[in-house]
Chains A and B, each alone.
Chain A
Amino acid sequence: MQDKDLNVIIATDCGSTTTKAILIEKKGDTYRQTFRGEAPTTVEAPFEDVTRGVLNAITEVEELSGRKILENEKVITPNNGNTGVDVYVSTSSAGGGLQMMVAGAVKAMTGESAQRCALGAGAIVMDVLASNDGRADHEKIERIRQLRPDMILLSGGTDGGTVNHVVELANFIKAADPKPRLGASYKLPVIYAGNNKAHPQINEILGSRTALIITENLRPILERENLMPARHKIHDIFLEHVMQQAPGYPKLMKMVGAPIMPTPAAVGLMTEKFARANNYNVLAVDIGGATTDVFSVFSEIFNRTVSANLGMSYSVSNVMAEAGVPNIMRWLPFRIEEQEVRNRLKNKMIRPTTIPQTQEDLQVEHAVAREALRLALDQHKALAVGLKGVQQERSISDAFEQTASGQSLINMMNLNYVIGSGGILAHSPRRIQSALMMIDSYQLEGVTMLAVDSIFMMPHLGVLAQINEKASLDVFYNDCLIKLGTNISPKGLAKEGEKILEWEIKAASGSQSGELRFGEIFSVPLKDDKAEIILKPAKGFDVGAGKGAKHEAKIQGGTVGVIFDGRGRPLELPKAENKRVECLEKWYKKLDMYP
């Protein structure tokens, strides 16, 4: 589509919890985002139709902008005066997280490998079926039907070995005739990663009944796991088929003027464009209700992971289960009973679209977000390896330990830029809250620039880039990316109060300098887009040039400024509750985090 044809664009992103609509209009030569509306995503009863939430969100844009966009529940095109738009585009992740069943011949062997494979791909494993799991045949079939998994990973047998067990498991899956939870518009994906000798039989049994994908055996010989090929398949299939699907999805497909993109694909595209244009190592995160998506570009290699079990609404209780309640509570600057925290998070799980209404409740959500971000990055680090499918020999003794294959590309000291997106980071009432959530959960090291997605529109811009790159990039730089500033975290440990850094900032607006002591954190205002910083760390501390070595770097200012984080790396919070609460109170107050 030519630029001249596009003057008014409406774009939506259907998340698992909220549907967001933005209006983009051409003002002179530049595209700008002008109005925004949002509404709860309508995948639940009574509607069970994602387009209802879309219409509600667009209606909000209509009311705020005064532009008539809808007629008889259809988007009016093209734009004419104050009516209609030139194109409607959308992304979707309304299908929510990835909930899988895995099946392996022997529960303690291939069953466990398959489970590790799915967990590593960011899925929730609902059950592990195995030939020897002690359940009768009909119980296995009943279980598959009852759980309505999004995907099944079938494995079993070493390459060339006996095929009986995997064939038997395939027959159970066929007999269960599992239906995807979101209706019959597509076939249930089954990934086969077992004995290669059984390919013909598996194809015959499941080929026509399911969307069968055959990949390399995840345990080709007993002593070796090869989880990467199946993990990448799970990931791809999730993005392509499961995540964007939701009740009413076919209706949405008819409404849009360009193919619907899965939300992570769209956000990934924008991250990649940004990293390449600026030659940065970038880490971007989109923390949603059901999933947390992490994107990185390190040494020009792009990686994307979707942690389908970590999020702030549907998956909030899973964050609690995985991180543990004490890990969440360690970020709270007040005392609260564990029972109270548990009940609050469970209430969010059962009513995922509610929002915090008190300061205390907001701080609980920020604490959960830190843990979700931390766990999602751990998962990303494990999957973001240089060569996909690097295999690792396993001896019988270490066959059950979960270790990543290959060396992770993610190195926090080499990271130049972090972008936060998703409801909790984009909509935090104070930008410093988003900044500290990212600093705490990622334990940033050295010099790192920070930004957030202003009102959560990276998905919309990603899908728009497919049809009009200029419009997408105009809005990205002018309206989407809110520069927070730069974080400085010397790596090392010392005694409280010890001087660990001398710093000097040179900017067009003027110079400032000072020092940083161990255990303190503060920010200095800096609005300039570009500035230089000279850092002289104490012996034993590293800010990017090695221990005790002077480091000069280009930085950016922003709404927060420059944060000096002297809390040490690795960051260790005091163990005693009183001391911990006192520290958090002091830090949050110093940064003016909450009213």
Chain B
Amino acid sequence: MADTFDAVQLAHGSGGSLMRALIEEVIAAEFSDVQLEDAATLSFPEATGAASDVRLSFSTDTFVVHPLFFPGGDIGHLAVCGTVNDVATAGAIPRYLSVGFVLEEGLPIEDLKRILRSMCEVAREANVALVTGDTKVVGRGQGDGIFINTSGIGVIRPGLELSASNVQVGDKILLSGSLGDHGICIVSVREGLEFGTNITTDAAPLSGLIAGVLDAAPHTRCFRDPTRGGLASTLNEIADSSGVAMAVEEDAVPVHDQVRGACEMLGYDVFQVANEGKMVAFVPADEAEAALAAMRADRYGAEAAIIGEVVEGTAGRVALRNTFGATRIMDTLVGEQLPRIC
């Protein structure tokens, strides 16, 4: 699939099936050790004593968002939250982050300082230390102002085996809050599509929320944050990994009015819009209520809801039941969503 193109396209970066194809067929085909979850689980059998049982969660993410500053956040804030969340999805408390900057010639130092302060603020909130990094500069026109890579590491709770392959029939699907806020926020400030809105990015560090859920529901199967590609891509990936089918109740999914309005105006599917401060959790049915309560107790989970469950059926199929009782398949984003007239 990815090899029908001879050049990388923008759509390859949008988090949908094209991106997945690029990763699986081109990149992972060469890197045989890579673990395809959001974070890699590392162990060190060569360590001695108690350390030989320690497992680390290790993740990296690169941020290329444009514009650099948007309502409620900026690329720095995103860069810290994104990796904190990826490390946390493995059931680890993130402790240390590295930061790599690629700065474009001409980037105002004031902008850089704003971004750095923003990173410090959210790192403080998430209780992570930015301990090492690297800086490079490229010529004018060769970078979008700034690209940021962060890598993060944390210790996984002993005995925890979270994995996207662990999901079972009967598990409930929980979503920590409203969909689409980040993606629509970005679109609202993008050239040509500007519209006035109160929507701010939802980017947030969720390690606390995840820890709370694990305390209340220790048999949680896995977590995943629905970033690029939206909820649809996330659910489809997990359905494929675990070989299960899923059923989602459309009415149970929280969506703010303005996000809905923007999706209608542009012709976007809200299930495919990016989120940066939301978490999906798969929890055994008998622990679902407790998990939900734990999410709602967290400052970033006030609108959490149980949106569906894992069911018998064709592996990899995610079905969406709408208000009328009709069902359709919730499909993975293919390329990127673009404003349309049809």
A binds B: no
**Residues of chain A at the chain B interface (Cβ within 8 Å):** none
